[in-house]
Every structure is written in structure tokens, then in C-alpha cells.
């Protein structure tokens, strides 16, 4: 047995309270190396003669590890436990809190061998708002969704042409009135969560260079109109998420302009990370101009980075965060460049918004493993790019085999607690990426097969505006074309609508159930979801038809017991 591969970490994604009387534990071993894992456990203050045992389930196979899981009872809200590991070579060890030992009987009867959960504090549990588990998100880039009010169009607004390839500075006149006018459309499509890219006053079409966080950009409307959008969305059973850009301000903001004018004597000088004065003209290292005078988002001179360790900046941002919750009743914040802001601030942010709305949803934009932010006191979840980009690598780019995909996704699921995985925001494309139809080289069946696979996963799925219309587009800014309203109710629309409808019809299982990923002997990817019901989904990413006998609850390219390439079939038991 490979002892170096045995792994468990208490009070982490390997050991977490799921309710005051139950703890979920995971254990990890080298692939194919361990026959079984038995957990010995009992209350912290009971003699070990009262210890119970439970055999762990093998819950998944990763790249180099097997993953095991079990749920332990803690009737008195406390727990101690240790692992007896039996190898396929016939050897056995106890993997305990202090050591690995081959003296099984002595070690399982020694209190010091047991990991401890001192008390199952409900306040420390990682929780995902119940409603998030029943939500399908729809991302709206306001400037390109719909132009409902010509009177607030920017100068030089371009004609609404979905076939255009937008430039970075182009405007098409999309606004909040356009969203309000199409809420019934969104209801018909079936989505029940609206994620807005920034709506606050800014100097660009994308609005990520904020000028004033307490003002709706006049090109989009005003606060009264936004309040109406929220109220009407809520009346239709939809949640509303806004985009918060708290890593940086726009360079046209009052605060930054004061620094430009007054230098180190500006009362806002300590609001930013300034290295030297004057701050203009900006020295761009990408152009060989030397070290920049101030820190920015990337090396974007229009986005000076805020000093969120400054109490004045904290008060300023927390006032904004709570203002839109208190006075407009929004349900969620998506946090731009969230990984570049300090943990200290995000803990304050989380408390401020959940004090107002305990079931508030906080989503961070993090493109890498995000464990430090996901312990229950910062973010509910993140934009799950490390998960979803690997889906693209298999379905669209053929960089991963089916087996490589399922193993990597299983490893990704093991990075987080079950509740955290349920709160992740899963998307295959967004305003920051090429559209899935383009990445799929225009193959609509392939794009929808991958979208269906995303919808079978743990987490809250999100589609980008226009996916249902079969819109295409390369990387930013080409992915931000004006919405193609001519394709409403068309064949692609109907298929996306059916997918959303299926997901929400079975949201109890998808939102809360367990997940296992396999590859069948015939090369199909199998996704098993166990919860209120048993759901088995099969995806054919091979180049040949595969015979499979199952009940056809929902499918694509499945006929007469054969699943064609780019097809899927889902059965519900």
C-alpha cells in the first residue's frame, strides 16, 4: 500500500458539518491501491468501546487518487473518528490524527489516534442559500441585450445589427428598459436568475471602469427604472444579481481625478496603491515604458486598484454593497477580480450583506482553485472556470479524453465541500470568453451537447444571453454582439428552453444530490445524480453510434436504442 498517498484533513473539504448531528468525511488514496476504508467514530467524551464503524463509499476516481466518502452521526454534536485502511495487497493501517500505524487493535483503541470535531457549530457551517440550488442564471450584458429607450442612447450609437463584429468603443444603445420589456420573454425561456454585468455610471460600454457606484449609468436608465426591473423580476420568480467592481475604480472617478490633480496631498492618495508621483502619464511596462506609478487591474491604466485595507475605502465599498441590497432588494453580488482583493475585506463584505439578507448569494470571479475564499465567511461560490473550461477542452477542443475529463472533474469536486459545489456558478461562456458555438466551430449539436453536460453537474448553471438564439462570437469584444431577437422560438431556442425546463423540473436532485462521473466500456460519459430520484445521463463524444438501452426522458440524437455522436440521453428513475 502506498502510505504516502493516504490523505485526510480535518475541518476542511475533507471533513465538514452538514447539520448539527452529521459530519461528512472524505478520504483519499492512490488509484487502485486500497480495497476498503472503514471509519471508527464516536462522541468525543464516550469511551472507545462505544465506537461505531462504517465502511466508506468510493465516491470517485481522480487522476492519481481514489476518493472515499461517508456520513457520520454525531448525536451529541461532537465527534472523533479515525480511518482503518485495507490495501489490495492485504496490508492494513490506521490513518489517524497523529500518525499512520500498522498496529490496528492498539491504535483504534487510543484516543490520540482520532481526529476531532470539538462541536458541530451551526454558525460555522458552510451554507448555500436554498434558492440557489433551484436557479438557472441568464447573464445579461446590458449594452447589447435590448434597446428599449432611444432617448438615452449614447452619441454615435450604431444600428442594432447582430451580425456586427463590435469594436471596443462601440455603442448600440442597450439599456434597462430593454430588459424590462423582455422580462416576459425571459420567463418564457424558463430562467429564474438574472445576472447583470455592471450597470453603474462608468466611462465605457462594459462599465467595469466605475465612476459612481451609487448611480445607474444614464445610458441604461435611472434608479427608479432599475427598482422597477427588480420588482418585476421578483414578481416573475426571478432573482437579481449585480456585478460589483471593488478591486479598482475607473480613472474618471472623482477620487482618482483628485489624485491626478493634487498628487500626494490628495485626500484620496491612500485610497490607491501608488508607487510614485506624478501618476500621469502612465508608464506601461507592456510597452517598455518602465515600472508603473500605481497598481491597476492587469496593466490597464484606466482601472487604478483600490487599497481595500484602508478603513475609508472599506466603509465606502460596504456602503455601496449594502445600499443596493437595502434599497433595491437585490439577491446577489458577483464580485469582479475577486481574488485580487484581501480576505480581510471580503469577510467584512460577507457579514455586511448577509446581516441584511441571510440567504444572500456571493459569487467571486476566480479562475483558479478558490479554497481560501470558500470557507463560509467570504463567498458562497465562484465562477467555476477550472471546472467548466475542462468541459470545453474535451467536448470542443479534443485536448482531453473522456476518461481524463471525468477524472479531472472528480478531482475538482473534491476541492470543495458539498454545499460549496452546490453554490458554484457554472458557465461555458460569458462576456469574457468566446461564445460556445464559435468554440464548437459552428456545430450547434456539439454546443448543445456540452451545454446539456454542464446542466447535469453540481452547481448553478448559467447561460450567456443569445446562446438560446444560436449566436456566435470570438473573444472579447466579438462575444458582445447585439442580441439577435429574430431567432426567438426557433429550433435552437426550443432546445435550450427544453434543457432549462428539464433542469428545473428535477432541481431537487440536481441542486442537492450526489454526483458520480464515469466512462462506460463503449466510451460514453456517464453522469449519475442521486437524490430525490436517480438520474443517469449518457453523452456520446466518440465518432461512432453506441447502442444503449435506457428510458428516454430527455435526449438529443438518440433513436432506436442508439446514441449518435454529439448526442445525449437522460433517464430519470
DSSP code of 458?
S
Calculate ∠ Cα 62-65-69, nearest 5°.
Answer: 85
Distance CA 432, CA 244 (A): 16
Distance CA 340, CA 561 (A): 51
Calculate ∠ Cα 23-29-31, nearest 5°.
Answer: 130
280 is a catalytic site residue: no
Contact by Cβ (8 Å): 451, 496: yes
Largest Cα span, the chain: 81
Q: Give first-to-last CA distance, the chain, whole Å.
A: 38
For 570, phi then psi, to 5°, come to -125, 130
HSE of 280 in the Cβ direction (CA atoms, 13 Å)?
A: 13
Calculate ∠ Cα 258-264-266, nearest 5°.
Answer: 30
Determine which one of 149, 170, 336, 454 is catalytic: 336
Distance CA 462, CA 465 (A): 10
Neighbours of 448 (CB within 10 A): 24
Q: Which three cell numbers stand for residue 522?
A: 463503449
Distance CA 70, CA 38 (A): 9
Contact by Cβ (8 Å): 102, 92: yes
Distance CA 146, CA 477 (A): 17
At 137 the three-state DSSP class reads: strand
Determine which one of 143, 365, 454, 507 is catalytic: 365
Contact by Cβ (8 Å): 427, 139: yes
Contacts of 198 (CB under 8 A, 6+ apart): 206, 207, 208, 210, 242, 243, 245, 336
Q: Which three cell numbers stand for residue 380?
A: 458562497
Distance CA 186, CA 190 (A): 6
Contact by Cβ (8 Å): 127, 417: no
At 192 the three-state DSSP class reads: coil
- Per DSSP, the residues of 384-427 read -HHHHHHHHHHHTT--S-HHHHHHHHHHHHTTS-HHHHHT-EEE
Q: Which residues pair with 101 in a beta bridge?
A: 94
Q: Which three cell numbers stand for residue 179?
A: 430588459
At which residue does the C-alpha cell 445600499 appear? 323
CA-atom Rg of the chain in angstroms = 26
336 is a catalytic site residue: yes
| Burial group, residue 557, by CB count within 10 angstroms (0-12, 13-18, 19+) | middle
Contacts of 554 (CB under 8 A, 6+ apart): 498, 499, 502, 569, 570
* Buried-state track 402-415, b at ≥16 Cβ within 10 A, e below 16: bbebbbbbbbbbbe
Residues annotated as part of the active site: 336, 365
Amino acid at each position: 500500500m502506498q502510505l504516502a498517498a493516504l490523505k485526510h484533513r480535518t475541518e476542511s473539504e475533507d471533513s465538514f458539518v452538514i447539520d448539527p448531528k452529521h459530519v461528512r468525511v472524505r478520504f483519499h488514496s492512490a488509484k487502485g491501491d486500497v480495497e476498503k476504508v472503514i471509519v471508527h467514530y464516536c462522541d468525543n467524551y464516550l469511551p472507545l468501546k462505544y465506537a461505531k464503524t462504517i465502511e466508506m463509499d468510493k465516491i470517485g476516481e481522480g487522476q492519481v487518487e481514489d476518493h472515499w466518502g461517508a456520513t457520520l452521526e454525531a448525536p451529541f454534536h461532537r465527534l472523533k473518528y479515525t480511518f482503518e485502511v485495507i490495501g489490495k495487497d492485504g496490508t492494513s493501517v490506521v490513518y489517524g490524527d497523529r500518525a499512520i500505524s500498522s498496529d490496528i487493535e492498539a491504535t483504534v483503541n487510543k484516543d490520540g489516534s482520532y481526529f476531532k470535531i470539538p462541536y458541530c457549530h451551526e454558525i460555522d457551517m458552510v451554507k448555500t442559500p436554498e434558492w440557489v440550488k433551484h436557479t438557472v442564471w441568464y447573464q445579461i450584458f446590458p449594452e447589447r441585450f435590448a434597446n428599449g429607450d432611444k432617448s438615452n442612447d449614447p452619441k454615435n450609437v450604431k444600428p442594432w445589427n447582430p451580425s456586427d463584429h463590435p469594436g471596443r468603443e462601440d455603442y448600440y444603445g442597450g439599456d434597462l428598459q430593454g430588459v424590462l420589456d423582455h422580462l416576459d420573454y425571459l420567463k418564457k425561456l424558463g430562467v429564474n436568475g438574472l445576472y447583470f454585468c455592471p450597470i453603474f455610471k462608468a466611462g465605457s460600454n462594459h462599465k467595469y471602469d466605475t465612476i459612481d457606484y451609487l448611480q445607474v449609468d444614464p445610458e441604461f436608465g435611472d434608479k427608479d427604472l432599475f427598482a422597477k426591473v427588480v420588482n418585476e423580476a421578483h414578481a416573475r420568480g426571478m432573482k437579481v444579481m449585480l456585478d460589483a467592481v471593488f478591486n479598482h475604480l475607473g480613472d474618471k472617478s472623482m477620487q482618482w481625478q483628485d489624485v491626478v490633480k493634487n498628487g500626494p496631498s490628495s485626500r484620496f492618495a491612500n485610497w490607491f496603491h501608488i508607487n510614485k508621483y506624478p501618476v500621469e502619464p502612465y508608464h506601461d511596462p507592456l510597452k517598455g515604458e518602465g515600472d508603473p506609478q500605481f497598481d491597476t487591474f492587469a496593466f490597464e491604466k484606466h482601472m487604478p486598484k483600490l487599497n481595500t485595507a484602508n478603513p475609508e475605502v472599506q466603509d465606502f465599498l460596504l456602503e455601496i454593497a449594502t445600499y443596493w441590497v437595502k434599497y433595491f432588494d437585490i439577491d446577489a453580488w458577483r464580485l469582479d477580480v475577486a481574488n485580487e482583493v484581501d480576505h480581510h475585506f471580503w469577510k467584512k463584505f460577507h457579514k455586511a450583506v448577509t446581516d441584511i439578507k441571510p440567504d444572500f448569494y456571493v459569487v467571486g470571479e476566480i479562475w483558479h482553485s478558490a479554497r481560501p475564499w470558500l470557507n463560509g465567511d467570504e463567498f458562497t461560490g465562484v465562477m467555476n472556470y477550472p471546472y467548466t473550461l475542462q468541459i470545453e477542452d474535451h467536448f470542443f477542443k479534443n485536448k482531453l479524453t473522456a476518461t481524463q475529463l471525468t477524472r479531472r472533474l472528480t478531482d475538482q469536486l473534491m476541492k470543495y465541500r458539498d454545499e460549496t459545489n452546490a453554490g458554484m456558478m457554472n458557465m461555458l461562456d460569458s462576456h469574457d470568453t468566446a461564445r460556445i458555438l464559435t468554440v464548437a466551430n459552428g456545430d450547434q449539436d456539439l454546443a448543445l451537447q456540452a451545454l446539456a453536460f454542464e446542466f447535469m453537474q453540481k452547481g448553478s448553471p448559467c447561460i450567456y444571453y443569445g446562446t438560446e438564439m444560436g449566436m456566435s462570437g470570438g473573444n472579447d469584444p466579438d462575444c458582445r454582439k447585439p442580441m439577435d431577437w429574430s431567432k426567438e422560438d426557433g429550433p435552437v431556442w426550443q432546445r435550450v428552453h427544453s434543457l432549462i425546463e428539464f433542469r428545473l423540473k428535477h432541481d431537487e436532485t440536481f441542486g442537492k444530490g450526489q454526483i458520480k462521473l464515469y466512462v462506460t466500456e463503449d466510451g460514453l460519459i456517464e453522469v449519475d445524480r442521486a437524490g430525490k430520484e436517480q438520474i443517469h445521463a449518457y453523452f456520446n463524444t466518440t465518432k461512432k453510434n453506441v447502442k444503449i438501452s435506457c428510458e428516454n426522458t430527455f435526449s438529443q440524437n438518440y433513436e432506436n436504442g442508439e446514441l449518435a455522436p454529439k448526442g445525449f440521453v437522460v433517464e430519470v428513475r
